[in-house]
Structures are given as C-alpha cells and as structure tokens.
Structure 1
Amino acid sequence: MFRHIGTRRTYRHNVSIATLLSLNAGFTNAAGFLGFAVLTTNVTGHAAFFAERLVMEDWKASRVIALWMMLFLGGAFCSSLIMNHIGRNRRFSYVIPLLLEIIVFLLITLFGYRYHHSLVAREIFAGSLLFIMGMQNALVTMVSGAQVRTTHLTGTFTDLGIELAQLYKKRNMRDGELYRRVKLRGIIIFGFLSGALAGAYLFHYWSYHAFLVPVALLLFALFYDIFRIHIKRYYHRPLHRGG
C-alpha cells in the first residue's frame, strides 16, 4: 500500500490507500467536530472564521484559528521532511508519520473528555487533529504521486467534475486511464462520507473512545504490506517432500 513509489506504484495501490485513509479522514472530521466543535481535516472553513474574527476584532480567537491553520501546514511540512530525509524510496519511510497519528488518536481517546473542563484542552486537541491530518494529506500525496488526497473533498469534487465532463465528451467508457481516475475520485468521496457517517454514529455511542477506530485503521495500514508479504511467501514457498 505504501511501499511502492513512483513507477513501481500501480492503480491498485492507489485504490487501497484511498479507501483506507479517506475512511480515516472522514471519521476524524465527523468525530472531531462532534468532540471539539472544530473541523479538523482541512483549513478552508477556518480561513473564513479567521477573517470574520479579525473583522470583529476578536484577537484571541483569531490567534487560535491562525494557529490551527499553521498546525495543518506544520503537519504537512513535518511529514514531507520525514519522508524526504529518510528517502521516499526507502522501505517503511511512512512509518513515523503514521505512528505519530496513532499516538495522537490514543491520547485523545484517553484524555479527550477533559475538553468539557477546559477551553485550552479543546484548542490543543483540535490543533493536534489538524496537525496529523496535515501529515496524512502530505504523506498520501507524496506516496501516490499527487493522485490521491484524502483529508478534504473540495479538490476531489472539482477533479471529478472535470473528468466526468471529459468522459461525457468522449462518450467512451473504454478510455481506461480516464475511467480509472473517475473511479478513484468516487472511491475517495464514498470512503470519506462513509467514514464521516461512522464517526458521527460511533461518537454518539462511544464518545471519545470512538477514536480507537482510526487507530485500528492506521494499524492495519501499517501492517498491511508486512502481512501481504508473509502471505505471498507462504503460498509461494517451495514444497519440500520427504524422502
């Protein structure tokens, strides 16, 4: 899912990463909003809130929103720095960003309830989610060669609209490359919306323990390649017959 980069990467690899991490992003967006009343997977809405707070001369809220936007940027910067420092073609260069995501989700699971007692806690937890979503977005973008982005749908809907128009103009579903891109956009949108629905539903019943679901998704992503390698080796191992 993550190991193959560049020319070694196939459409199937992108579908796998798009499915899993769009689910994760959608879940985080819904559960994060219900948990902290903040959108936590993109900065588009925060730009509007930032401008509105500036006009109202609410300097404290403006600083907090600006910090949240910078944290998303910082997450993308750190993820890119880690990937480039280790080397994109090195095995398991994606492990550190995914482990950092898992740690943040676990901390929110354990201490998220403190949001009800402290406004500062809300700002910290919301900012932490924005940071790791920036990390995830940069990680997926780099690994997939900018074919997949999973933390927001604005660009995905735009790309889908353009590609559907191209497909309609050609009136030819056999245009393999274009059809695959349309299918990939649809998978991302469906995954994000499904994750958001699951996040809203499970947060209603499990409260902050619902953030264990993203932990499970990311652990699966971490070990997917390892499991797949062992399974392939098992089925392709030479058969030793007794004498």
Structure 2
Amino acid sequence: MLRQPKEKRTLKHNLMLASSSAFVAGATDVCGLLAFLAFTSNITGHVANLAKNIVNQNYHSIILFSVWLSMFLAGAFVTKFIVKSLQHISYYKAHSVPVILEIGVLIFVAVYGNHFYDETQQEREIVISAMIFAMGLQNSLVSNVSGGLIKSTHLTGLFTDLGSELADWMHPRTTDRAEVRRKIYVRVTILAFFILGGFIGGYFFDEYEFKVFYFVPVILLTIIYYDLLPLIARKIYQIVYPTKTDNSSLKN
C-alpha cells in the first residue's frame, strides 16, 4: 500500500489504503466527539467557530481554534517534509515514517487518556490538538501516496468528487467510464469504512473509553506490514531454498 508511487498504483492498492485509513479516521473522529464534544478529523467546523469567536471577541477561543487549525496544518506539513526528504532513498520508508509517527501520537492519547486524564479543560484542549495533528499526518500521507485520489479524514470533498464522478459516469459523452468507475469505487469505500469506523469506535468507546486508542494503531500497523510481508516471505524462501550460487559461495 505504501511502496508504489501514484503512477504504479492499482485499484486494489487504493481500495486497501482507502478502507484502512478511512476506518481509522472515522473511529478517531467519533471517539473524539464522544470524549470531548469536538471533531478531530474535520477542521471545517473549527474554521466556522474561529470566525464566530472573532466576531464575539472571545480571545481564548480565537487562540484555541487557531491552534487546532495549525495542528492539522502542521501534521500535513510534517508528512510532506518527511516524504520529500526520504523518497529518494525509498518510497516505503518515506511513506511509513508518517504512519509510525501517527501511531505514536495515538498511543500517547491512549496512555494519557487511560492513566492521567483528569477531565480538565486544558487537558481536553491538548489531547484534541494531538488527535488533530495525527489526522493531519494521515490525510496528507494518503493524499500524497494516491496522487490526491484519497482523502480519508473528512467527507465534504468526497461528496463533491463523488457527485461529479457519478455525473461523468452517467453522461453519454464520457469516453473512459472504466476510469471513472474505479474512482467511484474508491470514494464509496472511503465513505463506507469511515462510517464503519465511526460506528465501531463509538460502540467500543462507550464500553472501554480511551482503551480504544490502543486498538486503532493496530489498523495502521497493517498498512505498514502489508508491504513488508512479501519481503519477509522472499527472505524466508531464500533461506529455505538457497540458490546454487549461494551454495557454491558457501563452499568457497
């Protein structure tokens, strides 16, 4: 899911990345809403709240919403900077480092929420900032990997793209319906798994609260290990069935 550049990605790669990342985004967003009454994967509402508080001259809220917007921006910036810095070495390393960083942030949320969180306003604001930063990391990564096709953390743009692509698919003058259909599959997958992640995350948050954030990184780990499995299998095969060249070199 992370090794292939955008021009070599197949529909399977995009569907797997879309489903796993959208599930994480949906679970994180709903858990954030239940825990803090704040959205953590969608910053559109925070922009509206920032404007409202500027009008009302509520300076604490102005600073708060500015920080939250900056955290999403910072997450996107960090991902792109890491990818640019490492992609000449390895596409896999360039794309896996932001995922590892996101896993670290979500584990921080799990540990802090389970062992240290006292439900103070300041703690609430800090934990929300961390979750928004994680979603900025993720949204920038999947967008970069897929060439802008996948944006997993918010659905406003998704519905816009899906509506346009449905129009293209149904229009008699469209020449490449197969390509449009592949894009529609990706959009519907994002929507379905965002809802599924939100449902499952919300259900288990009611039962286990912040312990849910120990589970969410497991989904992200599957993204990392999916690309490692063929390499591991090849290494094992080479050990079990060494080539003649390897055997002769061992004798020498």
| Residue 202, structure 1, aligned to residue 198, structure 2 | no
How far has the Cα of 1:108 moved from its partner? 1.2
Q: 2:162 aligns with which of 150, 160, 163?
A: 160
Give the 3 Å change call, closer, same or farther, for CA 216–142 of structure 1 in structure 2. same
Alpha-carbon distance in structure 1 between the residues aligned to 2:159 and 2:88? 28
**Which range moved further: 33-42 or 189-198?**
33-42
Whether the aligned pair in 2 keeps the contact of 1:36 and 1:115 (CA below 8 Å) is no
Alpha-carbon distance in structure 2 between the residues aligned to 1:32 and 1:134? 15
| Residue 63, structure 1, aligned to residue 63, structure 2 | yes
How far has the Cα of 1:17 moved from its partner? 0.5
CA RMSD of aligned residues (A): 2.3
Whether the aligned pair in 2 keeps the contact of 1:53 and 1:61 (CA below 8 Å) is yes
Whether the aligned pair in 2 keeps the contact of 1:33 and 1:39 (CA below 8 Å) is yes
Alpha-carbon distance in structure 2 between the residues aligned to 1:22 and 1:14? 12
Alpha-carbon distance in structure 1 between the residues aligned to 2:222 and 2:187? 22
Alpha-carbon distance in structure 1 between the residues aligned to 2:65 and 2:179? 40
Paired position in structure 2 for 1:145: 147
Paired position in structure 2 for 1:110: 111
Q: Larger radius of gyration, structure 1 or 2?
A: 2
Alpha-carbon distance in structure 1 between the residues aligned to 2:88 and 2:77? 15
**Which range moved further: 188-197 or 224-233?**
224-233
SS of 1:93 mapped into structure 2:
helix
Alpha-carbon distance in structure 2 between the residues aligned to 1:234 and 1:156? 42
SS of 1:98 mapped into structure 2:
helix
Structure 1, unpaired ranges of 5+: none
Q: 1:183 aligns with which of 182, 185, 193?
A: 185
Whether the aligned pair in 2 keeps the contact of 1:15 and 1:184 (CA below 8 Å) is yes
Instruction: Give the counterpart letter for 2:102 in structure 1.
Output: E
In percent, how many aligned pairs have the same letter?
32
How far has the Cα of 1:211 moved from its partner? 0.8
Whether the aligned pair in 1 keeps the contact of 2:46 and 2:69 (CA below 8 Å) is yes
Structure 2, unpaired ranges of 5+: 244-252
TM-score, normalising length: structure 2 = 0.88
Cα-to-partner distance string for 1:6-28 (whole Å, 9 max, x where unaligned): 33222221111101100010111
Give the 3 Å change call, closer, same or farther, for CA 198–28 of structure 1 in structure 2. same
